[in-house]
Amino acid sequence: MCQAARQILVAPAKYGGHNGMYHNDHPALLGIAPSLQPQLVAVLNTSLANSTWKGIKNIKLSIERMESKYALNLPLPWGRSEVVNYILALSMEKLAPSTIRVYVSRVASLHKNMGMCPGWQGDDIRMLMRGVANLPKNSDPAKQRLAVTPAVLRVLHSRLSSSPAPDLTKKMVWAACCLLYVGSLRSCELLSPSRYSFDPTSTLRRCDVELAKDLVNGRRIKYLRLSVKNPKEFRQAGTVIVEILPCPGMFFCPVTALTDFMRYTPGYPRSMPLFRSEEALLSRDWLNKILKEHLDPVLTYGVVRTHGFRAGLTSALAKCGVSDDTLQSLGRWHSQAYRSYIKMGRNLRLSTQQELVSKISEMAETNWGVETTLLVQ
């Protein structure tokens, strides 16, 4: 096999290529003249949509996590023992049965794309999945996921401040949390997929962040403009501009937190991910680990993870009377809302967001002390 063909069949790193995940003897190359193999590989490499490549990469990361956490060895191709180990490991992560089925289905698709035959079809696997679905639900209230509130942010800020972690790491984590909350962002729009690698086509980089100035309701303000790439609702390649306004006087002001972090790291290359410490890149898994370490010991009735930031702000604003249409548009909650967000235009988005920021500030000033009493032991 020629070298060009070998490189693409192993798959580019950004698509999740990994030793052991792909083999070098793809059936599609059998009988193909060596001089034409690079062309065939190029054609095959563009036959799958970006979303499919992204799914392949996500499955690779999932398999690697399960291998590391449960001391497994899961090289392709899989037989019965590999898929059983994978299903059991996913069930230990408390994933929903429907989610586990999706993961296993994607592994099967990966086999087929690589010219392999999934070797685990049978009644015993179906029985295993039925058993996973029948496992008793976790009813322990301490394990219920909480929506983030200003009270939770206050506790997190306090515990981060007293943490022995490096100052750079603390500033990075706090800035990310403020952006996730006030910006109603998804973790995948802000963070790297892992601590040691990133995809420039989806990860937010320093060059994607701008501190802008504009007139909003007659006042000139500084705000953040993020070029978010490949949002969940936008299936084609591209970006969407997300504006995040300051929260004057609030301890969780995203503009202040991010500016503080970026001043602390003036020499970081603009082509690198925005959130990067001396240790590693900030990934969702790492941030969830930090949240677990700092909040789980003190919250009395649940846990906080990354999705709680986005859900928390939306829930709080809904209670303040903000309309569903406004929340869906500014939060880009589904494809129709995404289109509405684009059509709103920058001036209307900024004006609407300023009203929401005022509500956030009022809510924080009136409620956070009471909520902290309820949340913390």
Alpha helices in 135-245 (DSSP H): 150-161, 167-182, 187-190
pTM score of the predicted model:
0.59
* CA distance readout (Å), 294 to 88, 150, 194, 246: 29, 16, 21, 25
Buried-exposed string 7-42: b where 16+ CB fall within 10 A, e elsewhere = ebbbbeeebbbbeebbeeebeebeeeeeeebeebbe
Structure tokens at 62: 């999932």
How many angstroms separate the most distant Cα atoms in the chain? 73
Within 8 A by CB and 6+ apart from 286, the residues are 195, 280
Contact assessment for residue 255 and residue 243, using Cβ atoms and an 8 Å cutoff: no
What is the Rg, in whole angstroms, of the alpha carbon atoms belonging to the chain?
23
Q: State the pLDDT at residue 329.
A: 65
Written in H, E and C, the secondary structure of 130-144 is HHHHHCCCCCCHHHC
Tokens of 208: 């994607």
Domain ranges for the chain: 3-134, 150-375
pLDDT at 276: 92
Amino acid at 356: L
* CATH topology classification for 150-375: hpI Integrase; Chain A (1.10.443)
Distance between CA 302 and CA 375 in Å, rounded? 9
Does the domain at residues 3-134 carry the CATH identifier 3.40.50.2300? no
E strands in 171-253: 209-216, 219-229, 239-244
pLDDT given for residue 95 in this prediction: 80
Please tell me the predicted confidence (pLDDT) of residue 330.
62
Contact between 233 and 337 under an 8 Å Cβ cutoff? The reply is yes
Beta bridge partners of 60: none
The alpha carbon of residue 303 and the mean position of all alpha carbons in its chain are separated, in whole angstroms, by 18
- Position 142 scores a pLDDT of 46
How far is residue 21's CA from residue 11's CA, in Å, rounded to a whole number? Answer: 9
Cis peptide before 297 (omega within 30 of 0): no
At residue 342, the pLDDT reads 40
Successive 10-residue mean pLDDT values, the chain, 377 residues: 35 36 52 80 71 76 88 86 90 84 85 73 81 71 74 92 92 95 88 89 91 83 86 59 86 93 89 90 94 86 85 74 68 51 53 68 57 44
CB atoms within 10 A of CB 168: 15
How far apart are alpha carbons 205 and 64 in whole angstroms?
25
Angle ∠(325,329,333) on CA atoms, nearest 5? 100
Dist. CA 165–CA 188, nearest whole Å: 24
Q: Is 183 exposed, middle or buried (0-12, 13-18, 19+ CB in 10 A)?
A: buried
Lateral strand order in the sheet of 219-229: 209-216, 219-229, 239-244
Place of tokens 């500014």: 330
Q: Give me the torsion for CA of 270, 160, 282, 272, rounded to 10°.
A: 10
Give the pLDDT of residue 11.
40
Question: What's the confidence (pLDDT) of residue 61?
Answer: 87
Residue 227 pairs in a beta bridge with: 241
